[in-house]
Structure 1
Amino acid sequence: MNPATRSVALIALLIFSTSAIAQQTTHSFLACGKNTYVMEADGTKSWTYPAATRDGYILEDGTIILTLSKSKRYKGGAVVKIGVDKAETLLWKGTQSEVNSAQPTQDGNFVITEAGNNPRLFEISPDGEIVLEFPLACQKENHHMQTRMARKLSDGTYLVPHLLDFAVFHYDADGTISSKLDTTAPGDSEHKIHTWPFTAIRHGDGHTLVCCTHGNRVVDFDRDGKIAWTLTNDDLPGQWLQDPCGAQVLPNGNIVITSYAAGRANPHAPKLFEVTRDKKVVWTYTDGQKVGIHHFQIITTNGTRLKGPVLK
């Protein structure tokens, strides 16, 4: 083998080895967005839903909970349940501009947010009765930019990202604001440049991971509200953070992130990727399509279903 051939072979081997190592981790996942589907670890879709969605969960028994985008069918959005028998049940029909999230709770209720002239958070029982409700203290002019992924915490309080208020609000069960996490980009406050919080995940010892879409950064705040960790495009192989909307903290502490705008300018940019706390990329998902993933849920890792609370 001549030196030139040997060099080409060595480069090919290195590329193959790097690719193999990078994808030793496999995931199946539920994708929500303009297209809604379950993607298996082998890259095949095992289930699809014929409507756009904003949020979604797959429960342990296989039931799927979807937050539907507004449409001709549901002008204010909706929340539906898809049983293991594929039967669909309407859990909530939106009464305002949008329904932006619906989180199943441990006791079988659902935490829902509505955007509109009277933005609100409420819980409904499995039979659709409102058991808790309070107004959200966000701006009212831009309905679409009021809130996104609201989540109930284990202590009965609520984390609610308010995009154009540039903060994650922490509400008590009666609607009182107990604290806020300011998502203003460090060093930019005097120029009034902010980042919009989309997903806020309480994890670990009181930490809160926040996806900030405008500004393309993911920030982890400690229990005192100080920044403990930040991920930007400077930490990645390319401009992968393009409107990072959803995220999930896995049981091993790694973080999976979706970039909603990935694929528009570069079809080879990953729609989903997993990073370790030391910012090493261990898994990517790329489909070559311009249509983005709004939010998601990792279902299995290396063929094993994830256990414990879904932190997303």
Structure 2
Amino acid sequence: MQLRNRAHSEPGIAFSQINRFWLLLLMVVCCFTGSIPVDAGEEDSIRHSFLGVGKANRAVIIGEDGAVEWKFDMPASDGWVLPNGNVLLALYGTKEFPHGGVVEVDRKTKQILFQYQGQQKEISTVQPLADGTFLVAELGPEPRAIVINRQGKIVKTTPLQCQKNNTHMQTRMLRVLPNGHYIAPHLLDFAVKEYDPESGAVLQVIATDDRGREKRDWPFTAIRLKNGNTLIACTNGNRIIETNPQGKIIWSVTNADLGENLFYDACGAQRLPNGNTVIASYRAKGDQVKLFEVTPDKKVVWRYTGMKSGFHHFQILTTNGKPVKENTWK
């Protein structure tokens, strides 16, 4: 009765106490799930589910509630959830795949339905193609882009023009473009190159050493957007840049722009249909932010702090219960 009377005379105090209670409860829930919606409590708070891949985390699917829904216990550097629900992975070297490999995994049984054994030093990326084949980046003495069929046979080979001294740092997220060309980020070359897959000719070079090579803006993910721009994640440089079709930087985001240190080895990136960009901090540990989403005006609107280590790459699968349809932008 005393509290009720006080509430009638001083409603702001009672409501403030209630709001503090719910805010505290939300913070506890977020700590357990690892998924923290920014502007929590508002109707437009963001929730994502995603596939995440890496060495320590292996391959996992995280639900919108932050819980691990699926895990495949092999280290992976790239991956996709296919339309049939299976998971396609590019694997780091293991006992079973000493030079890396590619597998398609049945999501329910976790049985390997298809595999390709790497033939050089390392497999860094894989992408499913419309005709049922797969584009693969194979690193080693002769770095190359290969297309393999479901029998594991190589049906096309395109040499990649990059340095050969450091195999691991030759290239990462190799992708095919809508025009059929390939786009390849070459880390130690500080260059994203567009290739003609038939002739192997380099058609365009986008440099990422504009701040000086000591900044280590090694290109890791390069995404050709619908407007012809290219979005590039610059790993140890801890920034994302977007260049116009001529290769000029027209947008970038760094920790200084965010006002907090969320970038920690920016490897994977994905441009969402709404224009926001999700970024992976591969070296994040413990309760540090592993994934975060920024708007074009550089506002952080979602972050994920679960798992013990960061992700090499990822694929956003759903947002607030709705599938993300344009998942080639990663």
TM-score by length of 2: 0.86
In the TM superposition, 1:149-188 aligns within 5 A as 149-173=173-197, 174-184=199-209, 186=210, 188=211
Indicate how the Cα distance of structure 1 residues 22 and 297 shifts in structure 2: closer, same or farther if over 3 A, else same: farther
Specify which of 86, 102, 106 is matched with residue 79 of structure 1: 102
Indicate how the Cα distance of structure 1 residues 298 and 192 shifts in structure 2: closer, same or farther if over 3 A, else same: closer
- % same residue: 42
Structure 1 gaps, min length 5: none
Shift of 1:84: 4.7
Residue matched to 1:128: 152
Residue matched to 1:58: 81
Residue matched to 1:305: 323
- The structure whose Rg is larger is 2
Provide Cα deviations, 1:251-272, integer angstroms capped at 9, x if missing partner: 1111111100112xxx332101
Residue matched to 2:135: 111
Distance 1:194 1:133 in 2: 30
Indicate how the Cα distance of structure 1 residues 148 and 292 shifts in structure 2: closer, same or farther if over 3 A, else same: same
Contact 2:315–2:327 (Cα < 8 Å) also in 1: no
Distance 1:244 1:165 in 2: 17
Distance 2:75 2:100 in 1: 10
Contact 2:88–2:104 (Cα < 8 Å) also in 1: yes
Specify which of 240, 244, 250 is matched with residue 262 of structure 2: 240
Contact 1:163–1:198 (Cα < 8 Å) also in 2: yes
Shift of 1:31: 0.7
Structure 2 gaps, min length 5: 1-5, 27-37
SS of the residue 1:164 aligns to: coil
Contact 1:220–1:227 (Cα < 8 Å) also in 2: yes
CA RMSD of aligned residues (A): 2.5
In the TM superposition, 1:1-312 aligns within 5 A as 9=17, 12=20, 18-21=39-42, 24-33=45-54, 34-35=56-57, 36-86=59-109, 87-173=111-197, 174-184=199-209, 186=210, 188-189=211-212, 193-263=215-285, 267-287=286-306, 289-312=307-330
Distance 2:121 2:196 in 1: 25
SS of the residue 2:256 aligns to: helix
Deviates more, 1:118-127 or 1:144-153: 118-127
Contact 1:22–1:283 (Cα < 8 Å) also in 2: no
Indicate how the Cα distance of structure 1 residues 181 and 10 shifts in structure 2: closer, same or farther if over 3 A, else same: farther
Distance 2:44 2:70 in 1: 23
Distance 1:69 1:244 in 2: 19
Contact 1:199–1:245 (Cα < 8 Å) also in 2: yes
Contact 1:110–1:125 (Cα < 8 Å) also in 2: yes
SS of the residue 1:242 aligns to: coil
How many pairs does the alignment contain?
305
Indicate how the Cα distance of structure 1 residues 114 and 218 shifts in structure 2: closer, same or farther if over 3 A, else same: same
SS of the residue 2:188 aligns to: helix
Provide Cα deviations, 1:36-60, integer angstroms capped at 9, x if missing partner: 2111111221111011100000012
Distance 1:65 1:200 in 2: 20
* Residue identity matched to 2:205: K
TM-score by length of 1: 0.90
Shift of 1:125: 1.9
Contact 1:22–1:282 (Cα < 8 Å) also in 2: no
Shift of 1:157: 0.2
Shift of 1:9: 4.7
Distance 1:133 1:113 in 2: 10
